[in-house]
């Protein structure tokens, strides 16, 4: 009798341990999904804020570029210096917005992966189907948003390159004559600003909608 008692005890412990091992991941997966949902919401909201800041700085930079092109001799230096400072601020705003976009994509991928794991652990067929359909809808909205952000993001660096070229060109010889020579590039940059603003406005609307409708 004494020989088998420890064995029965070990078997009992093993069964209890197995039960704990099976049940804990169910709660853990749900908690992980809930946590990642909140992270995606915060990340998307921050992306929206930084895109807004970029749009505001874009307006300011475009306005100052226009003022440089219209400046007479006495105002040219002051306006050029303001334009140069605005370019630096715009570059910083672009870096923040681009970083947020990339992190939002990563956070979204982690969230949808955790959500998929949670779905596999739902026993009720109707609840499982409802969660699957909801995940599909939210994931499509997120993917569409990511595509729009990537499309805008791909245009930012060529636009910034044009602004840097204008800054460098005028910086070597700041004169009304040189400003006149840069007119075509200045007008192109101004047209690019307007096109970017239209796209960014649409993206910002989509961002706000996603923040409002996404799970919390």
Q: What is the 3-state secondary structure (H, E, C) of the chain?
A: CCCCHHHHHHHHHHHHHHHHHHHHHHHHHHHHHHHHHHHHHHHHHHHHHHHHHHHHHHHHHHHHHHHHHCCCHHHHHHHHHHHHHHHHHHHHHHHHHHHHHHHHHHHHHHHHHHHHHHHHCCCCHHHHHHHHHHHHHHHHHHHHHHHHHHHHHHHHHHHHHHHHHHHHHHHHCCCHHHHHHCHHHHHHHHHHHHHHHHHHHHHHHHHHHHHHHCCC
Residue 22 covered by a domain: no
Contact 174, 8 (CB under 8 A): no
**7 located within any domain:** no
Q: Is the pLDDT of residue 80 over 60?
A: yes
The total number of structural domains in the chain stands at 1
| Nearest CA among 18, 32, 213, 216 for reference residue 121 | 32
Task: Pick the more confident residue, 70 or 212.
Answer: 70
**How many residues does the structure list for the chain?**
216
> According to the model, what pLDDT value does residue 186 have?
93
CA angle 78, 80, 165 (to 5 degrees): 170
9 in any annotated domain: no
Residues 122-161: tens digit of each pLDDT: 999 999 999 999 999 999 988 888 888 888 888 888 899 9
8 within a domain of the structure (yes/no)? no
Per-residue confidence band for 199, with pLDDT thresholds at 50, 70 and 90: confident
Kindly report the average pLDDT of the chain as a whole number: 83
How far apart, in whole angstroms, are the C-alpha atoms of residue 23 and residue 17?
Answer: 10
Locate 165 and state its tokens: 């070229």
Band (216; pLDDT cuts 50, 70, 90): low
pLDDT reported for residue 17: 36
| Averaged pLDDT, 27-54 | 83
Print the domain residue range for 126: 31-213
User: Per-residue confidence at 215, pLDDT binned at 50, 70, 90?
Assistant: low
**% pLDDT > 90, the chain:** 46
Identify whether 135 is part of a domain: yes
What is the arithmetic mean of pLDDT over 82-86?
A: 95
Write the pLDDT tens digit of every residue in 153-196: 888 888 999 999 999 999 999 999 999 999 999 999 999 998 88
pLDDT at 28: 64
In a domain, 60, yes or no: yes
Please report which confidence band the pLDDT of residue 208 belongs to, taking 50, 70 and 90 as the band edges.
confident
Position 146 scores a pLDDT of: 85
Residue 174 placed within a domain? yes
Q: Does residue 136 fall inside a structural domain?
A: yes
């Amino acid at each position: 009798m004494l020989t088998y008692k420890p064995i029965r005890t070990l078997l009992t412990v093993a069964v209890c341990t197995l039960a704990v091992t099976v049940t804990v991941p169910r709660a853990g997966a749900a908690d992980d999904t809930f946590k990642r949902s909140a992270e995606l919401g915060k990340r998307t909201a921050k992306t929206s804020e930084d895109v807004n800041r970029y749009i505001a700085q874009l307006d300011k930079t475009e306005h100052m570029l226009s003022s440089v092109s219209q400046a007479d001799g006495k105002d040219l230096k002051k306006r050029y210096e303001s334009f140069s400072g605005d370019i630096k601020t715009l570059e910083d705003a672009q870096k923040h917005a681009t970083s947020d976009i990339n992190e939002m994509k990563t956070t979204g991928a982690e969230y949808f992966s955790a959500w998929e794991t949670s779905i596999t652990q739902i026993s009720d067929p109707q609840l499982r189907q409802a969660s699957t359909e909801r995940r599909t809808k939210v994931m499509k909205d997120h993917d569409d948003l990511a595509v729009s952000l990537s499309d805008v993001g791909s245009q930012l660096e060529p636009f910034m390159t044009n602004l840097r070229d204008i800054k460098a060109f005028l910086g070597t010889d700041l004169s009304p004559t040189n400003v006149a020579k840069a007119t075509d590039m200045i007008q192109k940059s101004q047209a690019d600003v307007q096109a970017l603003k239209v796209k960014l406005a649409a993206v910002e609307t989509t961002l706000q909608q996603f923040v409002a409708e996404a799970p919390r």
